[in-house]
Amino acid sequence: MPRKSSETVGAQEIINVPNHVAIIMDGNGRWARRRGLPRIAGHRAGTDNIRPILEACVEFGVKVLTVYAFSTENWGRPQDEVRGLMRLLGEVIDREVSRLHANGVRLRHIGRLQDLPPELMRGVREGVELTKDNTTITLNVAISYGGRQEIVDAVKQIVVNGVEPEKIDESLISSYLYTADQPDPDLIIRTGGEMRLSNFLIWQSAYSEYYSTPVCWPDFNTEELRKALLAYSQRERRFGKV
């Protein structure tokens, strides 16, 4: 359930601020193409946009932000683009982790860490360890993440641990997911105008509210985030009940 809190922004009041916001950061390539730039320029603009949105989430009172940076399917993109994305993500983590720590951000990785290039893997591990006790906000960065793969990995570990079938329920499966100790997302935002989840948090999003905007991720600013939070606050969540 969303926290009962109130945030006044402009002339409209956000009554219920979601605890957990997840964002499918789509539209980087289209943003670049419209400007006659290479796709990697769009990805750079997209990675640069994470910090201001994170800061805005803190101001609004969001406690968990999850960003979909790179899916398991994205490994099938042209290798030059993949290498460029891995390099950008490594640069962002190396550049930002000290600032994140100083501002009380807990960095978490969700996805298959073992798939990442060694330098990026090292940076992620060091950032997670450095910030593990911070409490201002949790930033989950989904790199080499796939919702179906997450469930497969959870089931495999349950089998390895010898859990008896009668003890397997939704709560147990949730405890084996990458997001095990975190609340499910209240709101999932997709930028770039598409209307699909793209294998993102498919277990955790069973009752998430969904918000799609045509604004490409590099142009998704604090005002656009406010619009999404306002739309969320005006919905009634019944979780299958009357």
Mean pLDDT of the chain: 94
Domain ranges of the chain: 17-233
pLDDT of res. 129: 98
From 16, 26, 140, 184, active-site residue: 26
Cβ-based burial of 8 (10 A; exposed 0-12, middle 13-18, buried ≥19): exposed
Among this protein's residues, is 115 annotated catalytic? no
Output the pLDDT for position 236.
Answer: 83
Q: Which of 74, 103, 134, 199 is catalytic?
A: 74
Q: How does residue 5 score in pLDDT terms, banded at 50, 70 and 90?
A: very low
The pLDDT score that the predictor gives to residue 143 is: 98
Q: Which amino acid belongs to residue 119? A: E
pLDDT digits (tens, 9 = 90+) for 9-62: 444 678 899 999 999 999 999 999 999 999 999 999 999 999 999 999 999 999
Top pLDDT among 144 and 6 is at 144
Q: Locate tokens 């919702």: which residue?
A: 147
* Residue that wins the pLDDT comparison between 1 and 129: 129
Mean pLDDT, residues 81-93: 96
3-state secondary structure of 100: helix
Respond yes or no: is residue 219 known to be catalytic: no
Band the pLDDT of 237: cuts 50, 70, 90. confident
- The predicted pLDDT at position 238 comes to 75
Residue 1: the pLDDT is 38
Average pLDDT over residues 67-87: 96
Q: The domain 17-233: what is its CATH number?
A: 3.40.1180.10
| Rounded CA separation 181/148 (Å) | 19
pLDDT band at 154 (very low <50, low <70, confident <90, very high): very high
Statement: residue 71 has pLDDT above 80: yes
